[in-house]
Structure 1
Amino acid sequence: MIDFLVIGGGIAGLAAGAGLSPLGKVTVLEAEDTLGYHTSGRSAALYEPSYGSKAVEALGHASLAGHQAAGVLSPRGVMLVAKADQRAEFDADTIGMGMTEIDMTEALDLCPILDPEQVAFAAYNEASYDIDTELLMQTYAKEIRAGGGEVLTAQRVQSMSKTDEIWTVTTANRTFEAKNIANAAGSWVDKVAALAGIAEIGFQPKRRSMARVPAPDGMNPAAWPMVFGVGESWYMKPDAGALIVSPADATPSEPMDAWADDMDLAEGIASFEDHTTVEVDRMIANWAGLRTFSPDKTLVLGPDPLDPSFIWCAGQGGYGFTTAPAVKDFLRAIIAGNELPIDAEHAAAVLPDRYR
């Protein structure tokens, strides 16, 4: 008998599975042929905890030690840039993100492609890191297997039912029985809840488009920071000798295998060009991912009060990798009745009770 059947093999499901492994036998079901195929495989892969709601920030800060223990962080740094007429927005973002204003000489030393004729203000935070997302997912998968559990791919859930306190879950070629369900299905979490006969919460997937473009000839961007426009209106991040550019769009979408929108890509590239001396003449590649938000844009973690055998791990909203270690610890603690990794106020803000 499976103690915890986790539906979803992205970072949410793997963190949930690793967290629950000490409490019983875990089986993770991923619908696709590979783990992290959808949103987790299309992440900007940055650990920057000063984003999101206060509860999301609390989870992010509580995750630092876990990331360090897993050995998945490497230095990156984050820079905020603004034009002369954006001073108010710049000041608000600088405070909100815990950044320090720097002069343009320092900004150009950190990111030499900035255009000083366009960029009037800059702020910087060195305590932001790249996350080795594949290593983190595989670390959690190994923890699950080491605890006697399984991580299975190509197992798309087709039906779910509950009889005599036992869940029966069927896929195309297998049937599973479990005492508890952990719903970590990313953009499909409400659809999984509906299959289980659990009231939906109202999650909204939102598309984000990204392009990989060449670095300027003769320049190595490896040490450059990630650069944001005010209001997270666009961003640029070094990636494998090239640059990822995004308009930081958040277009509502149905759950799906998302693809980039041409107009969104054009807007992102235009914003990048408008703040730098670079002219983009081609894309190396482009893609999109879905970031899924709860109605209050805060994660939903823990047992559903209407049926505690149905556990939510949902609404990561783009913060899945940043918060993964604390999510792992939170789910284990809330099920076992142990001390939580965040304070009571922030814990109450992530529990599904707020929607029931």
Structure 2
Amino acid sequence: MSRFDMVIVGGGIAGASLGAQLAGEASVLILEQEESAGYHATGRSVAFWEETYGGPQVQPLTTASGPLLHAPDPAFADRSFLTPRQTLFVGRDTDRAERDRLVRDFSGRVDLRPVDPASLLPGLRPQWTVGLLEPGVCDIDVAALHHAYLRRFHAQGGQSQLGTALHKAAQEPGGWRIQTSNGVIHCGIIVNAAGAWADDVARRCGVAPIGITPLRRTVVQLRVPAMPSADLPLVMDLSSRFYFKPEGEGRIWLTPHDEEPSLPCDAAPEELAVAQAIARFEDVVDWPVEAVERKWAGLRSFAPDRAPVYGFDSAAPGFFWFAGQGGFGIQTAPAAALLGSALLTGGPMAEAVKGIDPAAYSPARFT
């Protein structure tokens, strides 16, 4: 088949979740340039479900996604994708204003509790005196979630082409003619779910880019045998200079919270960022680092206002943006897919997202 109702460019969590929502209603193809879907940002995420992460603009999507991740439709998955974790925000005395801002921004929407951070984090160094607990935070099983979306997509008749790049596309009567590395495809609608490549895909389709910028995030896995427990909270700096969380007994995943602008690429960690991460970690707790076991990097892609972009391009009929999902694309995937599918098909909003205003995420805000 060389003609589809919709072609989704990108097989990461964005494309897979939206495809799973659409495949039962339309003929849908996922076009993925890599040999495996989810190779880039999705496969490199330190994923958690945290309602404050991404800020107040993202919180409604995260909150709406929580129940769908915790108790998915049995036809979709037979268990929860979430495991309780909690987040402990820590800071110095100079960070009290930032703690108070968080509480104010999410008042009445997210459960946040001022705490003594030393009571929850053994080995915390004495200068870290300010604490805020977000008790509802959970880890996400990213691989299971992504695979479940792909299974559902294919079970409903969705097709995918891996290792297939979009070279260029042009509008034609009734839709688009797409030239790929494996031949020509025709479709009614192009869905741009290409992550770090979103602006590049737009250009190849003759569509004006929005200004979605890939930012590199570095992660290291450390062996820390003195870590008291694998059940400790995710620890976030109120000044956004690091976060880390246990990853099994005696191991943590740590990032210096770097956001280095990058071209779309197969991102690799830089040694300076790794060194900064370790130095910041050792400034927080007195757990000796025995070894750096792994290190990697991924690209988190943001629109200029750091909110996601969902909707049809106002100047290019049949070109739909589903991009700019930053570091929160996985925790918002269920709600984003419901919102995106309603916008694409013109159908009613699902009950879970009825309270969310899609205009807040429209690409029209950039024109």
What is the TM-score when the length of structure 2 is the normalising length?
0.90
Aligned counterpart, 1:131: 140
Aligned counterpart, 2:256: 247
When structure 1 is superposed on structure 2, of 184-193 and 161-170 the one drifting more is 161-170
Asked whether the 8 Å contact 2:338–2:353 carries over to 1, the reply is: no
Partner Cα separation in structure 2 for residue 233 and residue 161 of structure 1: 44
Identify the match of residue 235 of structure 2 among 223, 227, 230.
227
Asked whether the 8 Å contact 2:56–2:105 carries over to 1, the reply is: no
When structure 1 is superposed on structure 2, of 182-191 and 62-71 the one drifting more is 62-71
Identify the match of residue 102 of structure 1 among 101, 105, 115.
115
Aligned counterpart, 2:37: 35
Asked whether the 8 Å contact 1:159–1:169 carries over to 2, the reply is: yes
Partner Cα separation in structure 1 for residue 31 and residue 272 of structure 2: 35
Aligned counterpart, 1:13: 15
Aligned counterpart, 2:50: 48
- Residue 283 (structure 1) aligned with residue 285 (structure 2): no
Identify the match of residue 237 of structure 1 among 234, 237, 245.
245
**2:239 is paired with a residue of what secondary structure?**
helix
Q: Please report how far the alpha carbon of residue 207 of structure 1 lies from its aligned counterpart in structure 2 after TM superposition.
A: 0.8
How do residues 258-269 of structure 1 correspond to structure 2 at under 5 angstroms? 258-269=267-278
User: CA offsets per residue over residues 299-325 of structure 1, 9 Å max, x none?
Assistant: 000111223311110000111001100
**2:297 is paired with a residue of what secondary structure?**
strand
Identify the match of residue 82 of structure 1 among 54, 76, 91.
91
Identify the match of residue 112 of structure 1 among 100, 103, 122.
122
**2:320 is paired with a residue of what secondary structure?**
strand
Identify the match of residue 336 of structure 2 among 315, 327, 351.
327
When structure 1 is superposed on structure 2, of 263-272 and 159-168 the one drifting more is 159-168
Q: Please report how far the alpha carbon of residue 88 of structure 1 lies from its aligned counterpart in structure 2 after TM superposition.
A: 2.3
Identify the match of residue 181 of structure 2 among 172, 178, 183.
172
Q: Percent identity?
A: 34
Partner Cα separation in structure 2 for residue 355 and residue 95 of structure 1: 28
Partner Cα separation in structure 2 for residue 162 and residue 207 of structure 1: 33
Q: Please report how far the alpha carbon of residue 189 of structure 1 lies from its aligned counterpart in structure 2 after TM superposition.
A: 0.5
Q: Please report how far the alpha carbon of residue 224 of structure 1 lies from its aligned counterpart in structure 2 after TM superposition.
A: 1.2
How do residues 283-322 of structure 1 correspond to structure 2 at under 5 angstroms? 283-322=292-331
Identify the match of residue 347 of structure 1 among 344, 358, 362.
358
Which consecutive residues of structure 1, in runs of 5 or more, have no partner in the other structure?
A: none
Asked whether the 8 Å contact 2:90–2:128 carries over to 1, the reply is: yes
When structure 1 is superposed on structure 2, of 36-45 and 333-342 the one drifting more is 333-342
Q: Please report how far the alpha carbon of residue 143 of structure 1 lies from its aligned counterpart in structure 2 after TM superposition.
A: 1.6
Partner Cα separation in structure 1 for residue 306 and residue 31 of structure 2: 26
CA distance 1:10–1:355, change in 2 (3 Å): same
- Indicate the structure with greater helix content: 1
- Residue 193 (structure 1) aligned with residue 202 (structure 2): yes
CA distance 1:215–1:75, change in 2 (3 Å): same
Aligned counterpart, 2:76: none
Partner Cα separation in structure 2 for residue 15 and residue 337 of structure 1: 18
